[in-house]
Amino acid sequence: MQRSKRRRARGGGGGSHPYHAAAPPAAAAAVRFVWQVDAAVQTDRAGNSPLPNRRPAERPLARCELPSRQQRRASSPRPRCRRAPAAAALSPPPVSTTIPNKSKRTAQDYIFGKVIGDGCYSTVFLAKDIHTGKEYAIKVCEKRHIIKEKKGEYIKREKEALNMLSNVPKGFVRLYCTFQDAERLYFVLSYAKNGELLPYINKVGSFELDVAKYYAAELVLALEKMHSKGIIHRDLKPENILLDENMHLQIADFGTVKILDPEVIRTIPEANIEDNSQSTERERRRNMSFVGTAQYVSPELLRHREDTRASDLWALGCIIYQMISGLPPFRGPNEFLTFQKILKLDYEFPEGFPADAKDLVEKLLILDHTKRLGVEDKGETYESIRKHPFFNGIDWDTVLEQSPPTINPYLPGGSFEEEYTVPDHLEPGLGNNQLVRLWEFDLSTSKGILSISPEERRRRLEAQARENKYHQFVDGELILKQGLVDKRKGLFARRRMLLLTTGPRLFYVDPVNMVLKGEIPWSPELRVEAKNFRIFLVHTPNRTYYLEDPESYALEWARVIDEVRIGTYGQDTT
């Protein structure tokens, strides 16, 4: 009897009608999720439909009482309905994907190409519309992961933020349409053909000042538009800043946004802002959890779990610093130590950091978020930031219509066109060593550095293993050339022992801690370029390595690396 009561309480009371069979808890959760999210992800292709706050009234989750035989014979009106337990449904009701005045969209309308991004519960594909041939970035979210990680509210907020920004012509990725199937949600977004900003910083090391200034100005304009609509991004970083086909900036990834009343965010001081959005207490507690990326998160979020528009201004300061220097200001071996540096405002400017840029960064990276530059500005523009000397020369009315400057590296103090003076430490004379340095031609190795007999290789390897402390790092290969260089990452330089081996391979080792730090990847596309006696560049498909020889043997490094490349892959005919 007790078991029978329990079955009835769960909706499994023994009847044969399908509505009487109990669904497993996971299925019930999935049904509830579809009901909550379905309406939130249906929109027209312009992304203008509002985000609903309740279940659609025309599709109640209900269980109907079967009419009697007499009622059926009498063609009685529609049967009475009463609400059913949520766990009683086996599957979700049919989902409408009708787009007003547009054809119905499904995954079958697109050819999915390569993966261009991924996250904890979504994957972004480059896809082509089979009807128009236009390319899109389609963000595909797995429902089971969203349910498991309780990310339903994040999906709703991302959709709402994208809709709110749909009429802003520049500065943001655009949402064209959304749809879903039984397993996934789909966001059809504009495709930023030139990818993320971060690889460009990594490729060139750091931006020239005019390039950094231009993209900082575009970012300020985007923040103004976003904040004027009450949207706080909370995860601004170079990975979430994309570049379109014309190299203009687009902010992406709105999964962690916070949305406030626009009037509140513009008129009330940051210290007095309260979240008046319609959210449950459970949602408020969940919003207190950490969002953002360790290197760019603001101190107030770490201390008090407060996030206002000042958090985005903090991230702006971090990004400007990184564009100019090559690395973010707060760096640690793990997240905890990075957080400690943020809370202590523990960072420094490398040598050569421009004075105006330094002043701007210092006024944005302030622990008290109410005192950051721009926080006291009223209206829809950050006038105090616009008027900062760093932005001298920027025409704020036309900056978005201009062609962005070409991204080139910034190497103050190491200019390739600097006036040359003869160093005092070089060996005097004009013997073979001097000619190697001056003419990139070694008179003693006319057969090439790779022309080593097996016996000679064996003998040299044995001696190397006994005598060279760097032998342990080269995987048993013969070292052809080694020397100390300063390996630059933007404005930051690290002293490294560079090792060229017969692989061919180029290793670099920390000579103080005796730790292998990395390897420059070899390929037929590798090119070496000597800029002067001290600086030489190694170009690879994905990155350019900036190396400086303190002994002024850059020309010799360039010659030897190029000789090994030609000996391995053949003479370049391009």
**Which residue type does 509 have?**
V
Q: What are phi and psi of 539, to 5 degrees?
A: -90, 125
Do 190 and 176 meet the contact criterion of CB atoms below 8 Å apart?
Answer: yes
**From 38, 109, 118, 235, the catalytic residue:** 235
Q: Which residues contact 47 (CB under 8 A, 6 or more apart)?
A: 162, 163, 166, 174, 175, 176, 177, 178
How far is the C-alpha of 29 from the C-alpha of 35, rounded, in Å? 10
How far is the C-alpha of 436 from the C-alpha of 537, rounded, in Å? 19
Q: What are phi and psi of 385, to 5 degrees?
A: -75, -45
Q: How far is CA 25 from CA 22, 36, 500, in A?
A: 9, 16, 61
How far is the C-alpha of 128 from the C-alpha of 108, rounded, in Å? 11
How far is the C-alpha of 515 from the C-alpha of 339, rounded, in Å? 26
How far is the C-alpha of 370 from the C-alpha of 270, rounded, in Å? 6
Distance of CA 415 to the CA centre of its chain: 31
Do 369 and 311 meet the contact criterion of CB atoms below 8 Å apart?
Answer: yes
Q: Which residues contact 192 (CB under 8 A, 6 or more apart)?
A: 137, 173, 242, 243, 244, 245, 250, 252
Does the active-site annotation cover 572?
no
- Name residue 241's beta-bridge partners: 251
213 is in an annotated binding site: no
Using DSSP's 3-state secondary structure scheme, residue 354 falls into coil
Crossing angle (nearest 10°) for helices 152-164 and 25-38? 10
Q: How far is CA 320 from CA 23, 48, 237, 363, in A?
A: 53, 33, 10, 12
Using DSSP's 3-state secondary structure scheme, residue 272 falls into helix
Tokens describing residue 15: 């009847």
Do 210 and 232 meet the contact criterion of CB atoms below 8 Å apart?
Answer: no
Q: Mind telling me the catalytic residues? A: 235
Annotated binding site for ATP: 139
